[in-house]
A and B are shown apart, each in its own frame.
Chain A
């Protein structure tokens, strides 16, 4: 059965190969591209109908940020960036011919705009308004009205209460030691208090026309929990909206001048939906985990969460469906096949799969050689439907969707789970078992009786032995009312001299015990003790008294024996307690 199943498996894999919807156009495991889906963009940068791939590359370990432009499998241009790119986007700035799109790279507090791959404009985020109180305090310091210590106290006070956070300068100052304060104040007091924020995410929004080649505004999400919409030509701020948390992913639809919808997935695990003319979110979706991707398919918002699942929501925030993934989602993007009017979601998983879903129906699974960390789909070169993926190790994979390929639902998992066909492993019974069963049927009564008799005998013996132990005080615990005692012994050493320590404890709650003796019984041919009989001091309740004695092993033949310890009361012949100590074999030679 195993052989046949493996046959059918391989058969399926082969047919997959043949029926695959994708052509492998290019795979370079050493392409050295480390980036996120938000830093990938496809655009006809030169207006020659040949689409290029723009990559905001973070470099290995995020150390060498570069702007790369790829044409086909080769890198066309490569230029170093001043800081790590958070997002890359291509957009048309104006309606002039030739219609070459501009390239925007968000990095730190700035957006760098390139045209024809040449630096064209730099937009910087406006400064955030500083806390007026903080400004006041520093002004006073500037005029030497207050000493550094007072300054520190006042700043701490502001930090406790104010809604506006302190500037870096003040925060730094608060960390300083007393000795460093003076110098710091002198150095910095003349500076204007500044609060700068950074861009966390960026996307584009059509300005006033829905056409493919209409001018678009840039939409920026900032660390100060704001969304900004920039004018495509003048780069002035057209609109400003505030969010309850820092945006991570943005999704837009509509046109700025007509009606639009902004969806922002935020760091607090919520997704906020804003509309034109609303300064604050209109709807809120609370996920119970962090979102890892946000894609809009027609009117459905598809969100991937860290709980290894995809959720579908309406544009008003109502949950539609949930699909579980076999592994953690790394990144997501939209797949749009215009020729067939198909929109679907691609989700790259940690197990190297890229899954394509239309709503909750699985359309296709691509097995990548490494975990895919960023992907995008669109026109590349002169090919309409190209899928570009980069992997964790920095590889670049380009696949082309076959023109004949049609995605059909239901190619995913259907029918009963595979496990249902495996056989149950019922434990087998032996011939012997069957024979015994037959015997029991024939002689059940006799077996039962024998067993019961033996059981009673066993219990009787156990009881007898117990009574005997109690009567002769053989146990190491004494529970008589007058002398509740506990004894345990430890033997230390390798021999021939051992140290024997008896721990004797009076377990009564209040009464001390007096007049006890300890006596050792041993074979005199084998062991020698300095004192075989001694008096025990008064035992205070609760304390453990260590009583030490040395034992000399006399035999050189490696024989060991038992030493009996008896605890006696003065004037009584029966011991209160007794312990049997099995002496270890002496490892050293007896003193010759």
Chain B
């Protein structure tokens, strides 16, 4: 039974002496695919050295005819980063068996990796002709079209990929396209379906949670993030997002314990240190807060949110000169946010630069749409300067915003802010009591009903929502593909309008103090 010659030891095409038993005139050829199975086993074990040795042997023996050996060699080249070489080898394979869609697929994949998306789509389309029911071709075509910014085509391809066979990857890609187009609701739909299909995929769960967070649906967001954490307790993206939600509810200690895990996994993440800093801020450990925020700022010097928080903390510490620098830096990066100008104005007021403070307020009022604090603070400044009329105008503006907010959301107002507003109202309304009583009452009653049970709930949520926006941006940044685009969506979500509210606490108190002084 040992008649079959072991061809591999001899590199002479195993023919010369081996075929005696068959008594043929001409030499026989070795079977081309003889060791394909061995090549494959080595390849899937990632034992590339052994794999290359077998490939070399087999190619020598078959004089380069073994298609599978070339194919695997090309795959290994690609893994090693030699994409150009691998592309050439795949093309050789395509010549050896032109009817095989697999080879074309790999050629296209190499082109894709080289960034030649257009060429890749052409080859994929070619492959699709040979094999019409391959989800991989559809999926990859979808990815290529995404990079070519042809989102409609991409969606079509991805949907047909899903029809052929469901894969998490396709769902993720489809969700990303919706996000790129800014369609949050559709993206959520897709991710919901994806989670239904594979309920244990932590990446899907985390992304869905983050999307809900962006929409402000905190209950669902927490649910999905929690699920992600049950399957993978060390998933730092989910921890960061869940932690920021805990901050929203004032659970600073729990959030801090959770952040420890993240600090081990990604110790150089700016959003992490920003959130830790804001946790300490919430616990009134201001020095620790500043050092954490400064680390965050060191890691991401161009992130205005960190600068904003630094400005806020320094205002609290009454370090107005430092606060001024951080805030003006933040304004340089984000010149379109009313609250930043308001904080700057507060800093300037305390630095006794009234003229510039007033300018900052004017800018803040111009940019802001719905934060009554801006107007209130401006009114206080004007009142303190003795300009009652302008103060009155700002006060009325504030009332409008307050009424609008009351109509639209069940938010409670910060008690300090309400108190301040009442005092100012009282000071301004000398003689015109009727006009003022009503609006003043409203916040008051509201405040009273809530204050007993939930005193000062507002301040904390705000601080952490700021942080939360951060968490989202961070999560977005860790996505491997298209991260920039996803991140770019951030400014939109409704979390931002809420964001400024950390200031009220910090901010109202200094002004209040100054006002009281004056009155006395």
Contacts and interface: CB of A to CB of B under 8 A. Distances in A.
Interface stretch (A132-140, A191-199, A540-548): A191-199
Contacts of A496: none
Nearest to A426: B288
B283 to A, nearest CB: 12
Contacts of A417: 233-234, 261
The 10 closest A-B pairs by CB, nearest first: A419-B264, A200-B37, A168-B29, A427-B291, A448-B321, A223-B33, A417-B234, A419-B261, A448-B351, A82-B2
Given A420-B258, A440-B322, A83 B6 contact: yes
A424 B169 contact: no
A197 B33 contact: yes
Nearest to A191: B26
Interface string A235-248: 00000000000101
B33 A61 contact: no
Nearest to A195: B31
A32 interface: no
A198 B351 contact: no
Interface string A159-188: 110110100110110010000000000011
A62 B54 contact: yes
B498 interface: no
Contacts of A159: 98
B233 A291 contact: no
B287 A420 contact: no
B88 interface: no
Contacts of B45: 292, 328, 330-331, 373
Interface stretch (B148-156, B181-189, B312-320): B312-320
Contacts of A169: 29
B3 A82 contact: yes
Contacts of A292: 44-45
Nearest to A160: B98
B38 A62 contact: yes
Interface of A: 36, 58, 61-63, 65, 80, 82-84, 86, 108-110, 112, 119, 122, 159-160, 162-163, 165, 168-169, 171-172, 175, 187-188, 190-191, 196-201, 223, 246, 248, 267-268, 286, 288, 290-292, 306, 319, 321-322, 324, 328, 330-331, 350, 373, 416-417, 419-429, 434, 437, 440-441, 444-445, 447-449, 451
A198 B34 contact: yes
B31 A198 contact: yes
A119 B318 contact: no
A268 B31 contact: no
Interface core residue of A80, A198, A268, A448 (most chain B CB under 10 Å): A448
B257 interface: yes
B200 A322 contact: yes
Contact of A291 (B44, B63, B265): B44
Interface in B67-110: 96-99, 102
Interface in B28-42: 29-38, 40-41
Contacts of B36: 198, 200, 223, 246
A437 B286 CA distance: 12
Nearest to A86: B37
Interface residues on B, range: 35 or more
A422 B260 contact: yes
Interface in B154-200: 165, 167-169, 198, 200
A256 to B, nearest CB: 24
17 contacts: A58-B38, A108-B34, A110-B4, A112-B1, A122-B1, A163-B99, A187-B27, A198-B31, A198-B37, A246-B37, A306-B46, A322-B201, A424-B259, A426-B291, A428-B291, A441-B319, A445-B352
Given A198-B34, A417-B261, A437-B319, A165 B97 contact: yes
A424 B263 contact: yes
B213 interface: no
B518 interface: no
A447 B33 CA distance: 82
Interface string B331-371: 00000000000000000001111000000000000000000
B291 A429 contact: yes
B25 interface: yes
A201 B41 CA distance: 11
A434 B26 CA distance: 94
Given A163-B99, A201-B37, A416-B233, A83 B265 contact: no
Contacts of A172: 29, 63, 65
B297 to A, nearest CB: 12
Nearest to B290: A429
Contacts of A190: 25-26
B4 A248 contact: no
B35 A84 contact: yes
Contact of A444 (B33, B232, B320): B320
B167 A286 contact: yes
Contact of A424 (B24, B256, B290): B256
A449 B98 CA distance: 78
B25 A175 contact: no
Nearest to A58: B38
A246 B263 CA distance: 46
Contacts of B46: 306, 328, 350
B268 to A, nearest CB: 12
A139 to B, nearest CB: 16
A108 B40 contact: no
Nearest to A87: B37
A422 B264 contact: yes
A168 B5 contact: no
Contacts of A108: 4, 31, 34
